[in-house]
Amino acid sequence: MLQAVTGTLLLVNMYLPKSKYNVKFTKGGEIFYDNGNEYIGSYIETFTGEVYTGKAFNNNTKKLTDFRLADVSNNSPLVLKNDLIRPTEADYINEKFTRYFIQDRRTKAVVEVNKQNYKRFNLLSYTLSVEVSWVLKGPVGNVNKGPYIYFGAASQNKVEIEKAEKTIKGLSQIVKNYGEFVV
């Protein structure tokens, strides 16, 4: 319950002086409404880490969901966003690499992250996580030899995504190119 009281915030009948909150701005990708829509603009952050819409508390102020969580081990921000993922030379030698996906249970947002962020997000109670073994060596498509079908990399990768979809619903809507990175 929020109430505006001349530059202060009353939270569940608790007095909060102006010195206990800051007005900040987000360009997006960090803070969301409860319905999962992205919030862009000025927001209020309290000393407890809660965030609210606007520059000042009033009857229209709404609580937001904040994805900028501090990681205790290195104090860097943890933001639910896609990381740039590329297989390494060693991955191509091994002909496979592991892809990491996270889903926020609250908003159902799905992102692909690197191994370091996967480990960090995996510790949070509100996330689902899955690792996918991705085939890098072609052929990309299936090969027919007589009555036999040899499944190509794209088919194998699709099967892996379908398995992972049992954990993270909607993953196949995110990963659509099963031949990605295949040589």
In tens, the pLDDT along 35-52 reads 667 889 999 888 767 788
Which residue range is the domain that position 9 belongs to? 2-66
Question: Quick one: which of 51, 120, 132 has its CA closest to 85?
Answer: 132
Say whether pTM exceeds 0.85. no
Q: Judge whether 151 lies within some domain.
A: yes
DSSP H or E stretch at residue 159: helix 153-164
Q: Judge whether 150 lies within some domain.
A: yes
Q: Residues 88-131: pLDDT tens digits?
A: 999 999 999 999 999 988 888 899 999 988 988 888 888 999 99
Omega into 139 within 30° of 0, i.e. cis?
Answer: yes
Same domain, 106 and 167: yes
Cα–Cα distance measured from residue 43 to residue 82, given in angstroms and rounded to the nearest whole number:
23
Q: Judge whether 32 lies within some domain.
A: yes
Same domain, 94 and 163: yes
